[in-house]
């Protein structure tokens, strides 16, 4: 799958460097796409041209020229043009277009900046996910936002149960599966699409906001239903001068038992290991950031246990605290590009007692596996 490079031509349009569908030494078939802010339908931002290009047979020839000798205005009745695409070329073209849709949607339905370059394969997957989610948008548009919310409230509260049950009995099993997919799987796919589109972002506040909004992903780590009990919550540690307070990124609470868990997050870009080996050639130390996060969450746990009685008395939403579990979310396993690095990281985290370390891609892979399970594709 090729990479796309953007050149913004106006506030409402941008060109993409020609993408090759059928390569050749002196002739090639290319797709020349454009991204536009389509005011008639913002969900349809891609247009383009299929054309042949030629260049000189000279070894030094690099410039390709558009082949434009045939003009439609010169065609006579009964004549035509035939351009046959094989299965590979047609698949490539569809993936390119889907990738361009994904890139546009990832930017919040705005044009990417001049010079921006991206892998179309990644964005094609994002577009596929967002296409699925668009079913929900179509339902909301058809019923109206207020009516849709009222319907969900009615389902949740079991109002007018007789009418509701009568309506549900008229649904096919496939319809009920579709509703489940829309409400449940759709939310999982949405957060997975966010991860795919933003996995390179090295902004801790960004990931705190995402994991606050989609806190259900933590349930895939702890294997228990959890809710966010507090974000940047005080767990103790202040001295008489009012300094030294401890505030982990998240306090999660088991929705059934009320016990609290402590979470510290970094970013997917946070290094997992040091660049150089500790004992060449195959022993690598964990990074300063990972060591710091593990030590930090250990201090949070210690202070929390010491301050539990006082904090419990002053907290309206009561909680329980019995040897709280600790989780550090950090880095991306893509950094572990050798067996030695993978082993070094695993040895370190398996040696931790009471603190689980998971990478961002592992966290969201658990979400992807849950989606496949719910869809019956595993």
For 209-255, the DSSP string reads: HHHHHTGGGGHHHHSS-EEEEEES---S---TTS------SEEEEET
pLDDT at 325: 87
Predicted local distance difference test score (pLDDT) of residue 102: 76
Give the Cβ contact number of residue 165 at 10 Å. Answer: 10
pLDDT number for residue 241: 44
Dihedral sign (CA 31, 34, 35, 37): negative
Work out the angle between the directed axes of helices 360-375 and 186-198 (0-180°, nearest 10).
Answer: 150
Strands 326-329 and 355-358, bridge-based pairing = parallel
CB 14 within 8 A of CB 8: yes
What is the secondary structure of 4-22 as a DSSP string? EEEEEEETTEEEE--EEEE
Task: Please give the domain boundaries of the chain with CATH numbers for all domains.
Answer: 1-54+83-170 (no CATH), 201-375 (3.40.1350)
Q: Tell me if 331 sits within 8 A of 271, measured CB to CB.
A: yes
What is the rounded distance in angstroms from the CA atom of residue 192 to the CA atom of residue 194? 5
Distance, CA of 241 to CA of 60 (rounded, Å): 74
pTM: 0.54
Q: CA 313 to CA 336: how far, in whole Å? A: 46
φ/ψ of 354, rounded to 5, equals 85, -5
pLDDT of residue 131: 55
Interatomic CA distance for residues 313 and 52, integer angstroms: 76
pLDDT attached to residue 134: 54
Best CA proximity match to 367, nearest among 233, 199, 201, 246: 199
CA Rg value for the chain: 27
> CB neighbours of 171 closer than 8 A, spacing ≥ 6?
179
Which pLDDT score is estimated for 272?
96
Main-chain dihedrals φ then ψ at residue 87, nearest 5 degrees: -60, -40
SS3 286: strand
**The token pair that represents 273 in the structure block:** 């290991």
Beta-carbon count within 10 A of 160 CB: 11
Q: What are the pLDDT tens digits along the chain (378 aa)?
A: 678 888 888 888 888 888 898 988 888 999 999 888 888 877 788 899 888 888 887 755 678 888 766 666 777 777 777 788 888 888 888 888 888 887 777 666 677 777 777 777 766 665 655 555 455 555 555 555 565 556 656 655 555 555 655 665 555 554 444 444 445 677 788 888 889 888 889 999 899 888 888 888 888 777 666 767 777 666 665 544 444 556 788 888 888 888 888 899 999 999 999 999 999 999 999 999 999 999 999 988 888 888 878 777 777 667 888 888 899 999 999 999 999 999 999 999 999 988 999 999 999 998 888 887 776 655
Residues 6 or more apart in contact with residue 176 via CB below 8 angstroms: 168
The Cα 253–Cα 215 span in angstroms is: 11
């Amino acid at each position: 799958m090729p990479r796309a490079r953007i050149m913004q031509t106006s506030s409402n349009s941008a060109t993409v460097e020609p993408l090759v569908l059928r390569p050749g030494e002196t002739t090639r078939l290319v797709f020349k796409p454009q991204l536009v802010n389509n005011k008639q339908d913002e969900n349809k931002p891609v247009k383009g041209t299929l054309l042949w290009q030629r260049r000189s047979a000279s070894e030094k020839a690099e410039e390709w020229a558009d082949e434009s000798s045939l003009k439609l205005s010169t065609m006579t009745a009964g004549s035509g043009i035939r351009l046959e695409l094989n299965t590979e070329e047609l698949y490539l073209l569809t993936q390119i277009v889907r990738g361009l849709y994904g890139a546009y949607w990832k930017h919040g339905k705005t044009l990417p900046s001049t010079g921006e370059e991206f892998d179309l394969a990644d964005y094609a997957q994002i577009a596929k996910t967002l296409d699925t989610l668009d079913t929900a948008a179509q339902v909301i548009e058809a019923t109206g936002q207020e009516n849709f919310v009222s319907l969900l409230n009615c389902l949740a509260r079991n109002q007018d149960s007789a009418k509701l049950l009568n309506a549900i009995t008229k649904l096919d099993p496939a319809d009920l599966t579709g509703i489940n997919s829309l409400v449940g799987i759709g939310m999982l796919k949405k957060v997975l699409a966010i991860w795919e589109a933003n996995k390179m972002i090295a902004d801790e506040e960004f990931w705190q906001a995402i994991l606050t909004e989609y806190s259900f992903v933590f349930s895939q780590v702890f294997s228990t239903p959890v809710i966010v009990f507090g974000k940047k919550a005080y767990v103790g540690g202040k001295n008489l001068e009012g300094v030294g307070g401890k505030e982990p990124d998240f306090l999660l609470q088991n929705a059934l038992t009320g016990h609290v868990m402590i979470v510290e997050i970094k970013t997917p870009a946070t290094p997992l290991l040091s660049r150089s080996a500790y004992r060449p050639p195959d022993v690598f130390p964990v990074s300063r950031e990972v060591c710091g996060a593990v030590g930090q969450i250990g201090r949070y746990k210690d202070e929390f246990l010491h301050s539990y009685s006082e904090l419990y008395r002053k907290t309206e939403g009561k909680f329980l605290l019995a040897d709280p579990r600790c989780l550090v979310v950090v880095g991306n396993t893509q950094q572990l590009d050798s067996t030695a690095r993978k082993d070094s990281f695993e040895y370190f985290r398996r040696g931790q007692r009471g603190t689980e370390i998971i990478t961002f891609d592992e966290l969201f892979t658990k979400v992807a596996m849950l989606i496949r399970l719910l869809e019956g594709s595993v």
